[in-house]
C-alpha cells in the first residue's frame, strides 16, 4: 500500500495529479486555506477591503520577484535589488519634486534600473565573477551612495500627478494590482513560449548543453539582468508612489523578501526550474501571512520565523523532488 | 490503513497546534501595553505643565579653566550642529539668531559639516578653538567621540553648552534637553484623549518592541494613561521597523482588523506617523480615525493641511536654539552656576534644571494646522 501512495505522488504520472501537486497549486491552496482559517477566527479578515489591501500594499514585491525569479532560474542570484529599488525611488522622487515632466519621472527609474542591472549581468557573464560577489558589491555601492548623496533627507512635497500607485483604472482597478497581474502573465507567457524565454531555463539548467543547442548563456544572462532591472524599476515606481514621503534610505531586508518570494514560488535555487506565477502567488502568500498574524494576535516577530520556515520547506521539497526524479530515471 | 490513521493524527495535531497558537495569542492579558520597556516610569501629573520635581541630582557637568570674566561684555559664539543645510538645524540656528538679537551683546555663527559625520564635526570645533571664540554650542554626532575636543575647549577657558544631542556630561557645562520621555508621553496621550474621547480604543504603530526610545515612550504613555485617562482602551501594538511601506501596511491591517472599535492610532516614529496618516487617508477615515504621533512637520504637512491629522508631537527646534543661546549668556554672566535649579530664558520664561546639568526645554511642541507652515524640516 505504501508503495502505491509514493508512486502516485511521483511527478509525471497523470496530468490532473501533477497539476494538483504543482507549486502554484499548493500556493493557491495555502492562500485560500489561510484566508478561510483566519476568516473563521476573525471574519473581518475576509472583508474585501482587507484582502485587497494585502495585495495592494505588496504588489511591488511581487513585481520585483518576477525579475528575481528569472535571475535565479538562469542560475544566478541578485542581492542588490533592495538597494536598487531604494535608489530608483529616490531618483524618481527627486525628479518629480524638481518639476520634470511626469513621463520622464516614471521612465527614468526603469532606464536606470535596466542599465545598472545590465552592467552587473555583463560583469557576471563575461568576467565570470560569481553573481553573489558582484551584487554584494553593488549593494554596498548603492546603499552607501544613497546615504552620502541624500544625507538621509526625505523627499516630501511630491506633486499629486507623481502618485502612479494611487491611480485606479475605471475607478475600481488599482494600478499596482493591475501592473502586478499584467507583468506576471506577460512574463510567464514569454518565459514559456518564446525562444529567448526558454533560453533562460536552458542556461540555468545546463549552460554547456545550452551552448551546444545554439543558446548563448552569456547573452542570456545579460538579457535576464536587463529584464530584472526593468522589473526593479517598475517595483521602485510602485514603492515610491504609494506614500507621500520617500525615505531616501534603502528599505530594510527588501532583497530578502523578494528572494523569499521567488524561492517559495518554486524557483529552484539550483537554477533551471521555476515560474513567475509561483513567485507572485508566493509574494501574496507572505503578505497574507503577515496580515494574518496581526489578525490572530500572534507577535509579529513570528513573521521572520514563518518566512524562514517557508524557505526551508520549499528548498527541501525541491531537493527531494530532484532526488526522487533522479532515482526514478 | 495504519498510514491513514497516522495521517489523520498528524492532521489533528496540526489543527490543535494552530488552534493553541491562536488561543494563546488572544489570551495575553493587557495590563501593560506591548512595546514598552520594564524600567520604572514616572508619569507626570494629569493637569500640570512640565514641572519636574525629580530627586535632585548633583551637578555633573564640566567647568572651563581660567575663563576670563566677560559678564555683561559682548561675546562671540560658534554653533556647530550635527550638520548644516537641513531644515531642522536651520531652525535651531534661527532661534539662536533671534535670541542674539534680543540679548544684544551676543554674536552667533553657525558652521559645521555638511554631513552628519563626527570626524568632520571634531575638525570644525578644533578649528574654532584655535581661532578663538568665547563659547561653543554643539549638537553631537557621537556622545563619546566628541568628548575630547570639548574638554580641550573647556581647558582653554571656552564655555561649552550642548543642545539636541548630548556629549558625556563632564565635557560641557550644560545641555538643553528638548524633551523628556514622560513629557512626550503626556503630550501624546492627552492629545489622543482630547481628539477621540476618554473611552475609545486605539492602537500603536512602533519601530520594534526593543527600540530603546520608543519602548521608553510607550512605557511612560501606558503609565500616564493608567493614571490620567484610565478608560482609554489600548488594543494592540504592532511593529513596523523604520520602514515606510511596512508601517503603512501594518496601520492598514489594524484599521481592517478593528473597524469601528479603533478610534485612534499612535505613530511612535517619524516613519510610522506619516505612514499611519496615509493608511487612514486611503481608508477614507479622515476625521473619524485620529492619528497622533511623533513626526517632523514636512512629512506631516499634507495630512495636517488636509485636516486628517490634528496633533503632531515634537519639540520646537527654534525654541531649542533660542534657549541654548540664553543659557550660554547666563553662564558667561555668572547667572547660571552649578547647583542652580532654573534659568531665565527670555520669552520662554524660567526653564528647570534636571538630571544634574541639563536644562529642560519645556512641554513638547504640538504642530497643528495653524503653525505647521512656519516650520521647514
Say if A295 is an interface residue toward chain B (CB within 8 Å).
yes
Strands B106-110 and B75-80: parallel
CB pairs < 8 Å spanning A and B? 106
List the domain boundaries for chain A.
57-315
A1 and B CB contact within 8 Å: yes
User: Are A251 and B250 in contact (CB < 8 Å)?
Assistant: no
Residue A10's pLDDT is what?
A: 43
Q: What percent of chain A has pLDDT over 70?
A: 91
3-state secondary structure at position A156: coil
Chain B closest-CA separation from residue A266 CA (Å): 24
Domain count, chain B: 2
pLDDT over 90, % of chain B: 67
C-alpha cell at A304: 521572520
Distance CA A212, CA A215 (A): 7
The answer on pLDDT for A324 being more than 80 is: no
| Grid coordinates given for A36 | 478561510
Site of grid cell 494552530: B18
Tell me which chain B residues have a C-beta less than 8 angstroms from the C-beta of A55. Answer: none
Helices (H), B197-231: 212-228
C-alpha–C-alpha distance, residues A184 and A83, integer Å: 22
With contacts defined as CB-CB under 8 Å, which chain B residues touch A299? 25
Chain A environment of B115 (Cβ under 8 Å): 148, 151
Strands B342-344 and B350-354: antiparallel
Does domain A57-315 sit in CATH 1.10.357? no
- Phi/psi of residue B206, nearest 5 degrees: -125, 180
On whether the CB atoms of residues B304 and B284 are closer than 8 A, the answer is: no
A148 — contact with chain B (CB < 8 Å)?
Answer: yes
Give pLDDT, residue B23.
41
Pairing of strands B350-354, B358-360: antiparallel
Helix (H, G, I), strand (E, B) or coil at B177: strand
For residue B36, give the 3-state DSSP assignment: coil
Q: State residue B4's pLDDT score.
A: 47
pLDDT value for A245:
87
* Contact check, Cβ <8 Å, B245/A57: yes
Q: Do B275 and A299 touch (CB under 8 A)?
A: no
A195 touches chain B (CB under 8 A): no
Contact (CB<8Å) B244/A156: no
Q: Is residue A63 predicted with pLDDT exceeding 70? A: yes
CA dihedral angle for residue A124, residue A128, residue A132, residue A136, rounded to 10 degrees:
-70
User: Which has more pLDDT, B145 or B4?
Assistant: B145
pLDDT tier, A8 (very low <50, low <70, confident <90, very high otherwise)? very low
pLDDT at A328 over 60: no
A288-302, B258-272, B323-337: which range is least confident on average?
A288-302
* Mean pLDDT across B305-309: 94
Neighbours of B120 (CB within 10 A): 17
The terminus-to-terminus CA distance of chain A in angstroms comes to: 22
**B248: confidence class by pLDDT, cuts 50, 70, 90:** very high
pLDDT at A166: 87
Please indicate, yes or no, whether residues B100 and B167 belong to a single structural domain of this protein.
yes
Whether residues B252 and A42 touch (CB distance < 8 A) is answered with no
Mean pLDDT across A269-288: 93
Residue A46 at interface with chain B, using a CB cutoff of 8 Å: no
pLDDT band at A206 (very low <50, low <70, confident <90, very high): confident
Strand partners of residue B233: B201
Cα separation, B160 vs B136, whole angstroms: 5
Determine, for residues A47 and B256 on separate chains, whether the beta-carbon distance falls below 8 Å: yes
* Segment (H or E) for A98: none
d(CA A261, CA B232): 40
Q: What is the mean pLDDT of residues A249-273?
A: 89
Whether residue B40 contacts residue B85, with contact meaning beta carbons closer than 8 Å, is answered with no
Question: Cα(A128)–Cα(A37) distance, rounded to whole angstroms?
Answer: 48
pLDDT at res. B31: 63
By the 8 A CB rule, do B176 and B160 touch? no
- Whether B191 shows a pLDDT value over 70: the answer reads yes
Of residues B2 and A179, more confidently modeled: A179
pLDDT at B373 > cutoff 60: yes
The radius of gyration of chain A from alpha carbons, rounded to an integer in Å, stands at: 20
Of the candidate ranges B23-27, B174-178, B312-316, the one whose mean pLDDT is the lowest: B23-27
Would the CB atoms of B249 and A57 count as touching at under 8 Å?
Answer: yes
Nearest of A53, A159, A174 to residue B280 by alpha carbon: A53
Whether residue A247 contacts residue B271, with contact meaning beta carbons closer than 8 Å, is answered with yes
Predicted confidence (pLDDT) at residue A280 exceeds the cutoff of 70: yes
Instruction: For residue B38, tell me if it sits in a domain.
Output: no
pLDDT exceeds 80 at position B297:
yes
Helix (H, G, I), strand (E, B) or coil at B250: helix
Name the strand (E) or helix (H) holding A287: helix A276-295
Angle, helices A276-295/A175-193, rounded to nearest 10 degrees: 150
For residue B236, being part of any structural domain is answered with yes
Pure H helices in A77-194: 81-97, 102-126, 131-150, 175-193
Say if CB B325 and CB B108 are below 8 A apart: yes
Task: Pick the more confident residue, A299 or B138.
Answer: B138
Closest CA to B166 of B365, B331, B357: B357
Average pLDDT of A233-249?
Answer: 90
Shortest distance between the Cα of A103 and any Cα of chain B, in A, equals 24
Give pLDDT, residue A250: 79
Is the domain of B108 the same as that of B204? no
Closest chain A residue to the Cα of B254, Cα to Cα: A294
pLDDT on residue B28: 41
B91 & B200 share domain: no
Rounded Cα gap, residues A233 and A230, in angstroms: 5
Confidence at residue A20, expressed as pLDDT on a 0 to 100 scale: 52
pLDDT at A5: 37
Q: Are B272 and B209 spatial neighbours (Cβ–Cβ below 8 Å)? A: no
- pLDDT above 70 for A171: yes
| Average pLDDT of the residues of chain B | 88
One domain for residues B283 and B164? no
State the ipTM, two decimals.
0.85
* Chain B contacts in chain A segment 154-183 (CB below 8 A): 154, 156-157
Q: Is residue B12 part of a domain?
A: no
d(CA A66, CA A234): 11
For the domain that residue B108 is a member of, what is the CATH number? Answer: 3.40.50.2300
The last residue of one of the domains, among B276, B292, B314, is B314
Domain encompassing residue B132: 75-179+316-361
Contacts of B256 in chain A (CB under 8 A): 44-45, 47, 49-50, 53, 291
Residues of chain A found within 8 Å of residue B116, distances taken between Cβ atoms: 151-152
pLDDT at A216 over 50: yes
Nearest to B132 by CA among B71, B63, B75, B69: B75
In terms of Cα–Cα distance, which of B122, B115, B98, B107 is closest to B73?
Answer: B107
Same domain, yes or no, for B289 and B352? no
**Do residues A81 and A193 lie in contact, with contact meaning Cβ atoms separated by under 8 Å?**
no
Which residues of chain A have a CB within 8 Å of the CB of B254? Answer: 294
User: For the residues B162-170, what does the mean pLDDT come to?
Assistant: 93
Q: What is the pLDDT of residues B45-102, one digit of tens each?
A: 887 655 555 557 889 999 999 888 899 899 999 999 998 877 788 889 999 999 999 9
Q: What is the distance in angstroms between the Cα of A151 and the nearest Cα belonging to chain B?
A: 6
Q: What is the pLDDT, as a whole number, of residue B207?
A: 87
Q: Do B248 and A243 count as a contact with CB atoms less than 8 A apart? A: yes
Beta strand B365-367 with B311-314 is: antiparallel
In terms of DSSP bridges, do strands B159-163 and B135-138 run parallel, antiparallel, or are they unpaired?
parallel
pLDDT above 50 (res B13): no
Task: Identify the weakest region by mean pLDDT among A290-299, B26-35, B63-72, B336-345.
Answer: B26-35
Q: Which of B314, B340, B371 is the last residue of a domain?
A: B314
Q: Which of A145-154, A278-287, A310-319, B94-103 has the lowest mean pLDDT?
A: A145-154
Amino acid at each position: 500500500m505504501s508503495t502505491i501512495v509514493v508512486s502516485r505522488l511521483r511527478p509525471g504520472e497523470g496530468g490532473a495529479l501533477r497539476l494538483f501537486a504543482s507549486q502554484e497549486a499548493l500556493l493557491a491552496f495555502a492562500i485560500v486555506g489561510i484566508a478561510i482559517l483566519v476568516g473563521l477566527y476573525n471574519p473581518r479578515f475576509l472583508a474585501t477591503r482587507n484582502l485587497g489591501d494585502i495585495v495592494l500594499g505588496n504588489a511591488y514585491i511581487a513585481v520585483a520577484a518576477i525579475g528575481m525569479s528569472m535571475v535565479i532560474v538562469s542560475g544566478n542570484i541578485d542581492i542588490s535589488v533592495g538597494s536598487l529599488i531604494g535608489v530608483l525611488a529616490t531618483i524618481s522622487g527627486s525628479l518629480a519634486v524638481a518639476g520634470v515632466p511626469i513621463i520622464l519621472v516614471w521612465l527614468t527609474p526603469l532606464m536606470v534600473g535596466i542599465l545598472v542591472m545590465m552592467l552587473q549581468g555583463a560583469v557576471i557573464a563575461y568576467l565570470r565573477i560569481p553573481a553573489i560577489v558582484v551584487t554584494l558589491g553593488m549593494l554596498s555601492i548603492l546603499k552607501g551612495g544613497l546615504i552620502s548623496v541624500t544625507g538621509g533627507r526625505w523627499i516630501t512635497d511630491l506633486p499629486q500627478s507623481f502618485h502612479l500607485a494611487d491611480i485606479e483604472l475605471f475607478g475600481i482597478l488599482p494600478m499596482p494590482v493591475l501592473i502586478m497581474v499584467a507583468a506576471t502573465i506577460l512574463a510567464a507567457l514569454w518565459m514559456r513560449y518564446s525562444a529567448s524565454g526558454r533560453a533562460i531555463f536552458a542556461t540555468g539548467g545546463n549552460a554547456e548543453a545550452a551552448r551546444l543547442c545554439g543558446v548563448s548563456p552569456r547573452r542570456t544572462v545579460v538579457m535576464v539582468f536587463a529584464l530584472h532591472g526593468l522589473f526593479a524599476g517598475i517595483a521602485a515606481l510602485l514603492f515610491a508612489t504609494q506614500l507621500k514621503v520617500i525615505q531616501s534610505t534603502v528599505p530594510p531586508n527588501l532583497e530578502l523578501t523578494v528572494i523569499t518570494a521567488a524561492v517559495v514560488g518554486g524557483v529552484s535555487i539550483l537554477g533551471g526550474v521555476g515560474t513567475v506565477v509561483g513567485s507572485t502567488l508566493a509574494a501574496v502568500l507572505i503578505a497574507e501571512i503577515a496580515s494574518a498574524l496581526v489578525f490572530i494576535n500572534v507577535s509579529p516577530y513570528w513573521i521572520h520565523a514563518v518566512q524562514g520556515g517557508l524557505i526551508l520547506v520549499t528548498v527541501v521539497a525541491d531537493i527531494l523532488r530532484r532526488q526522487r526524479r533522479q532515482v526514478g530515471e | 490503513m495504519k498510514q491513514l490513521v497516522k495521517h489523520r493524527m498528524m492532521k489533528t495535531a496540526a489543527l490543535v497546534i494552530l488552534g493553541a497558537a491562536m488561543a494563546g495569542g488572544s489570551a495575553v492579558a493587557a495590563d501593560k501595553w506591548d512595546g514598552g520597556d520594564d524600567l520604572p516610569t514616572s508619569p507626570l501629573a494629569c493637569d500640570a505643565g512640565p514641572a519636574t520635581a525629580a530627586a535632585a541630582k548633583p551637578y555633573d557637568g564640566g567647568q572651563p579653566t581660567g575663563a576670563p570674566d566677560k559678564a555683561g561684555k559682548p561675546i562671540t559664539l560658534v554653533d556647530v550642529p550635527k550638520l548644516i543645510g537641513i531644515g531642522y538645524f536651520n531652525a535651531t540656528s534661527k532661534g539662536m539668531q533671534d535670541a542674539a538679537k534680543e540679548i544684544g551683546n551676543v554674536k552667533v555663527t553657525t558652521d559645521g559639516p555638511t554631513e552628519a559625520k563626527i570626524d568632520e564635526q571634531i575638525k570644525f570645533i578644533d578649528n574654532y578653538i584655535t581661532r578663538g571664540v568665547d563659547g561653543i554650542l554643539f549638537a553631537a554626532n557621537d556622545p563619546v567621540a566628541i568628548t575630547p575636543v570639548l574638554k580641550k575647549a573647556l581647558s582653554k577657558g571656552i564655555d561649552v553648552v550642548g543642545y539636541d544631542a548630548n556629549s558625556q556630561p563632564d565635557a560641557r557645562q550644560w545641555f538643553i534637553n528638548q524633551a523628556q520621555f514622560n513629557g512626550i508621553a503626556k503630550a501624546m496621550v492627552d492629545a489622543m484623549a482630547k481628539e477621540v474621547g476618554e473611552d475609545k480604543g486605539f492602537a500603536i504603530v512602533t519601530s520594534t518592541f526593543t527600540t530603546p526610545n520608543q519602548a521608553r515612550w510607550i512605557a511612560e504613555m501606558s503609565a500616564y494613561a493608567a493614571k490620567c485617562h484610565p478608560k482609554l482602551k489600548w488594543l494592540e501594538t504592532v511593529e513596523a521597523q523604520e520602514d515606510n511601506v511596512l508601517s503603512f501596511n501594518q496601520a492598514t491591517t489594524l484599521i481592517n482588523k478593528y473597524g469601528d472599535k479603533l478610534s485612534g492610532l499612535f505613530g511612535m516614529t517619524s516613519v510610522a506617523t506619516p505612514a499611519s496618516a496615509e493608511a487612514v487617508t486611503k481608508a477614507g477615515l479622515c476625521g473619524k480615525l485620529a492619528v497622533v504621533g511623533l513626526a517632523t512637520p514636512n512629512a506631516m504637512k499634507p495630512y495636517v493641511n488636509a485636516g486628517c491629522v490634528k496633533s503632531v508631537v515634537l519639540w520646537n527646534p527654534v525654541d531649542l536654539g533660542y534657549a541654548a543661546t540664553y543659557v550660554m549668556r547666563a553662564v558667561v554672566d555668572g547667572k547660571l552656576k552649578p547647583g542652580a535649579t532654573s534659568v531665565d530664558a527670555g520669552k520662554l520664561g524660567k526653564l528647570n534644571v534636571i538630571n544634574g546639568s541639563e536644562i529642560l526645554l519645556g512641554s513638547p511642541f504640538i504642530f497643528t494646522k495653524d503653525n505647521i507652515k512656519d516650520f521647514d524640516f
